[in-house]
Structure 1
């Protein structure tokens, strides 16, 4: 349905006299006063109203963040560049956060062996079940599939917020995965399951043989969870559930002896801040009027002006 809110313009000179006229034509009411302005209100069940077919075709329909198309994919590449070059634009507060992450990660390097030994010495059936859930949430096969299913819900359920959130989460996931893969190639850290110590690194390599640092599952989980937690911050249940599942993924990777504690902490931070960056890039897109409000010129024998329309 389209609601034509109104038209504002100027009447020709021969009509520049005080007049008040109202005439009902179907569902349209026209009123003119002082010969200088006119307002038209129309409700059109056919979603066309007073705008012509050409006007409706050229008016923007929805943001690129509501559908997967070429512009969306191009935007992902642009945002990836923005994330990679973001340190060039950091202020003192950003550097303080980065320093805190590096400091905690360095501290965990010293505690990695003890944390691994504790996790492997305290295995039980309940923790095993929780670990399975955590691994699934961060799995590179299951995670995008779950987000993609939510996107389809948004498409078929005509839920624009669900579509937007899903596409932002997929973007955050994709960029975080690229960054994680790059760090894995540079570090070449041995996984705890190999029996090697936490300080065993192979260094840069084109093909990853030992990719413990950083945890891809954990970065995936937090990249997705951060977007959902922020987009649905008005729902008190979503943020704790989203971050809870992501934390469960971090637990699972240490519990299953796939990663050191420092791997999952840095991976979680990487995913979290990637999600935050993507959200900051698209703050202006989070507008309920976007794609619904249209403004078009209107020229008739009686007046010239602008027509404001709203689709709902």
Structure 2
């Protein structure tokens, strides 16, 4: 636990120091705080309302997501068996990191620290980053909590098959497999933080760290591969939709001249995954 928090403390201290400080801003911190908190909730509402405004391309992306989740579903049994078998071979530090990074309490401790640092030094870009992190994690967290209970899919460790469902809030925690809360929280953080940097190597490192909690849910027997695939796409969608909304609320942008990230589902003989092109 302490090592995880120390790691993120060092990352965010370095990130905060890289911002342009604007200490001559006349707006009070209380006014900034009220404005930012309003954007947290409005950003969540924006993300939830996006399906009502989808056009052809967006519905096509949704179709690809469903197809990708369906393909992953066919690999659920062998991937679950493989990862659970190698659990004891995984270094304890990775197992601890996978659990701690994706837990809600640690997530809000980290994202809250980012925002409060930006508020303290009156740095708009860092404040906006904190708003993006908090609103994305909150939107994803509420959505996954609703879906877990509504769908009621059995976890691998329950001893039941991947086809076992106990929907509509009638099952216990053994029926909270779909989607993965740890994966959504970790990947929303990773995607939001990676947007701050231009270097593909830094981005790749951040996404790798964000992927560890997702993979950890496989070796812990908490989730199936299809749960993780769906969670990853949902995380990217939420961050991107809220970030576009925040473009209209803050003057500071992220790396305006940097290349956009292209996300693709990749399928082939014996492989399945999500590919990011920087």
Distance in 2, Cα, partners of 1:80 & 1:245: 25
Find out whether 1:143 has 2:145 as its counterpart.
no
Counterpart position of 1:161: 125
For the 8 Å contact 1:63–1:285, the answer to whether it is kept is no
Cα RMSD (Å) of the superposition? 2.6
Would the alpha carbon gap of residues 280 and 185 (structure 1) be closer, same or farther in structure 2, given more than 3 Å must change? Answer: same
Counterpart position of 1:107: 71
Q: Whose helix proportion is higher, 1 or 2?
A: 2
Question: Which structure's CA Rg is the greater one?
Answer: 1
> How far apart are 1:207 and its partner, in Å?
7.2
Distance in 2, Cα, partners of 1:208 & 1:187: 12
Counterpart position of 2:219: 255
Find out whether 1:265 has 2:235 as its counterpart.
no
Consecutive unaligned residues of structure 1, counting only runs of 5 or more, are 1-46, 48-55, 290-312
Counterpart position of 1:170: 134
* 1:22-44, Cα deviation, whole Å (9 max, x unpaired): xxxxxxxxxxxxxxxxxxxxxxx
For the 8 Å contact 2:132–2:243, the answer to whether it is kept is yes
Counterpart position of 1:18: none
Would the alpha carbon gap of residues 196 and 282 (structure 1) be closer, same or farther in structure 2, given more than 3 Å must change? Answer: same
> How far apart are 1:201 and its partner, in Å?
0.5
Distance in 2, Cα, partners of 1:281 & 1:213: 27
> How far apart are 1:67 and its partner, in Å?
4.0
Find out whether 1:215 has 2:215 as its counterpart.
no
Would the alpha carbon gap of residues 161 and 74 (structure 1) be closer, same or farther in structure 2, given more than 3 Å must change? Answer: closer
Distance in 2, Cα, partners of 1:274 & 1:92: 19
> How far apart are 1:184 and its partner, in Å?
0.8
SS at match of 2:114: helix
* 1:59-105, Cα deviation, whole Å (9 max, x unpaired): xx3899x9432x43333333333222211211222112111111111
Matches within 5 A, 1:192-231: 192-205=156-169, 209=173, 210-230=175-195
- How many equivalent pairs are there? 229
SS at match of 1:285: coil
Distance in 2, Cα, partners of 1:67 & 1:246: 29
> How far apart are 1:262 and its partner, in Å?
0.9
Would the alpha carbon gap of residues 207 and 157 (structure 1) be closer, same or farther in structure 2, given more than 3 Å must change? Answer: farther
Would the alpha carbon gap of residues 204 and 276 (structure 1) be closer, same or farther in structure 2, given more than 3 Å must change? Answer: same
Distance in 2, Cα, partners of 1:133 & 1:158: 31
For the 8 Å contact 1:132–1:252, the answer to whether it is kept is no
Would the alpha carbon gap of residues 204 and 81 (structure 1) be closer, same or farther in structure 2, given more than 3 Å must change? Answer: same
Distance in 2, Cα, partners of 1:226 & 1:207: 32
TM-score by length of 2: 0.74
Q: Whose strand proportion is higher, 1 or 2?
A: 1
Distance in 2, Cα, partners of 1:144 & 1:267: 19
For the 8 Å contact 1:228–1:238, the answer to whether it is kept is no
Consecutive unaligned residues of structure 2, counting only runs of 5 or more, are 1-23, 254-278
Task: Point out the more displaced range, 250-259 or 201-210.
Answer: 201-210
Counterpart position of 2:21: none
Distance in 2, Cα, partners of 1:160 & 1:74: 15
